[in-house]
């Protein structure tokens, strides 16, 4: 999937696909609006939930750790359709 997203683009999200490191995901943080971010796995212990970071597209915003914020992964971004 391409790295650049523009206002008006349509993003196809599959809620059944688990993200892999480097994938883009749709997520809601602290029950806010959905946002697109890069998924970065930090640890994946076998007996508990994986810890990951959401890396915002805008580098002026901080990374969001799953173990420090109320978050909900909505799905893996599968395709971006450019707005013309």
Give residue 37's pLDDT.
94
> Would you say residue 2 has pLDDT above 50?
no
With tokens 């796995």, the residue in question is: 41
The count of domains in the chain is 1
- The answer to whether residues 11 and 74 touch, using CB atoms and an 8 Å cutoff, is no
Assess if residue 55 is contained within a domain.
yes
| Domain residue limits at 26 | 10-81
Give residue 84's pLDDT.
66
Assess if residue 5 is contained within a domain.
no
Handedness of CA 42, 27, 18, 67 (dihedral sign): positive
> Would you say residue 58 has pLDDT above 50?
yes
Give residue 47's pLDDT.
67
Question: Can you tell me the distance from the alpha carbon of 72 to that of 29, in angstroms, rounded to the nearest whole number?
Answer: 6
The per-residue pLDDT of the chain, averaged, comes to 87
Assess if residue 44 is contained within a domain.
yes
Assess if residue 65 is contained within a domain.
yes
- The answer to whether residues 40 and 57 touch, using CB atoms and an 8 Å cutoff, is no
Assess if residue 4 is contained within a domain.
no
Average pLDDT over residues 51-71: 90
Looking at per-residue pLDDT, the higher value among 8 and 38 belongs to 38
């Amino acid at each position: 999937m391409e790295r650049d997203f523009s206002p008006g683009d349509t993003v196809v999200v599959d809620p059944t696909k688990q993200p892999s490191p480097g994938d883009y995901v749709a997520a809601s943080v602290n029950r806010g609006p959905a946002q697109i971010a890069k998924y970065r796995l930090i640890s994946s212990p076998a007996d508990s939930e994986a810890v990951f970071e959401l890396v915002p597209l805008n580098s002026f915003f901080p990374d969001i750790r799953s173990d420090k914020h109320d978050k909900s992964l909505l799905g893996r971004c599968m395709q971006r359709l450019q707005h013309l």
